[in-house]
Structure 1
């Protein structure tokens, strides 16, 4: 699983396409050939989720929660409404719950049944999030999974695993990094990572 994670994040274009990628490409080619799909429309959808509703939206939510106590309270009380205040709406993000990391608690998000994921705030799910090893082991051995991502937690930190469903998606609010007190929201958002908002990383 960790191997898949590193390949996905750090070797863009250097590895041969996976079997799944080849199957998707073959299906796409067939649909285009039969005139059922417009390739420009597919490109526009991918562009939208990769560059307009990607993890930067979630990072802005987190940065506002760090810098605005009232927004943080609203986010923890009703994440769907608070996120909607910032204009981040859409399918796969209708019913959101925000969970907050603290010195005592670390949160980890998984979808054990399929790959439910909050697209409006995190964009498209990474390959490893959809993999069977992550989906099964995150619940059984969350500390082991976190260690494979390079996240070693002290024994006295409680790990809470949240299982996303078709009805509810989760967003982890990471702990604010030490020394970031004087930064504005834009600078804070630049510190937030996708993996931090899933819970596989600490900032």
Structure 2
């Protein structure tokens, strides 16, 4: 499944769980800059949008609702991601709005969020820089969860993940049988387990319910598992 389809399903998932102003803000707020960040930075790093929330509502220091462009909440960690365009942030044409924005970011830090500002221009001209910075920023927060995750995989599951990272992202059951020297039932058992753990998606043969291959859901932390 490619980015466009995943992005559409992700937005629909969040829209179905919102009403009123929260829904309206999602439809109005998740625009070009936010979509470009998800496509050019988040997707290349993770290959999915799990735990990523668009136009996430929080309360500011006055108790008023405020919508963060994107919030990532994998467990206890909370990141508030704001896409910054060149405009009031630099020119200060609306000084009251500018002060409120600075105070909101400070309050988000008090509330336990790590606030990350992403320049819109970098998303257009050099997204690879933002990718590099995000990897460096997120890796320390993910190491602990990756260690815990690694204990959840058997030796054979780790070997399957290693093969998936080396190949083109798709695995056929017959290829795993030949490569690993195990029987088809074993392959089916372990692939079902990895699908339940969110590492693969089964792909059905056209016009059939038979699984013809598995799509690998990549994470940049997967190389820590072996």
TM-score (norm 1): 0.25
Higher RCO (CA 8 Å, separation ≥ 6 residues): 1
The structure number with the bigger radius of gyration is 2
